[in-house]
Amino acid sequence: MQTKIRGVNQAGTEQDVRVSEYGLTVIMPVEMLWTARGYGRLAMNTAAIASLIVRPSTLSQLTLYNGESGAGKHYVVDRVFAHNLVSIANGQFGIWLCSHPVNMTAPTGNNITVRNSPSGQAAGGSLSVVDTAESVTDDGWFPWGDSQQQVVATVPGAQAGVPVGGRIIVPPRGGLSIQIVANTAAVTCTVGFHWYEVPEGELTVA
């Protein structure tokens, strides 16, 4: 006896679950769907900033702030990344992140112009604020990803990418900061974020 599998979509309407000719369930990664819908955003700084040689506290290298309000879009962080622009031989560095709660103090600037959309759309239209060297509250810094080593002196070299994969979500009026901690301040990096601006209703699991 043949049976159908049905699911309920966001509007509460039942839909048939689709399969291929050979019975394989058709699944699209949610990141691909969000990219196709134009939710994707990227931003980074281009001027290298000296690394810290202590645990981060109240200064960020780069901060992403969600300027939405109420039940606005939530920023689902896909990845963060860093590029070691100038270093010394055997310089080592790692990425640290701090998630800031709702109603954090908004950044005083919005000086990042290097922005992009991974779906070929214009990079504007976002209420995000991205700024360097922000004074922030130390809401808890934690290392993310593995350390990277630069084995060539002076010239650009190692880069690091941390696949956050949605394990950090920045709600309206919240933020996320990044810092680089290294074995010497001679390690300078540029850093950035890749995120999806997702309507609240698409994140609700009922």
Distance of alpha carbon 134 from the chain centroid: 17
Q: How far apart are CA 46 and CA 150, in angstroms?
A: 19
Alpha carbon distance 68, 97 (integer Å) = 21
pLDDT in tens, 72-130: 999 999 999 999 988 888 888 999 999 999 999 999 889 888 899 999 888 777 999 99
Q: Which two tokens stand for residue 148?
A: 């990277």
Calpha distance 84→71 (Å, rounded): 38
Phi, psi values for residue 203, rounded to 5°: -105, -5
The three-state secondary structure class of 91 is strand
pLDDT tens for each residue of the chain, 206 residues long: 567 777 777 677 888 777 777 767 767 789 999 999 999 999 999 998 999 999 999 999 999 999 999 889 999 999 999 999 888 888 889 999 999 999 999 998 898 888 999 998 887 779 999 999 999 999 999 999 887 776 666 667 788 899 999 999 999 999 999 999 999 999 999 999 999 999 998 887 65
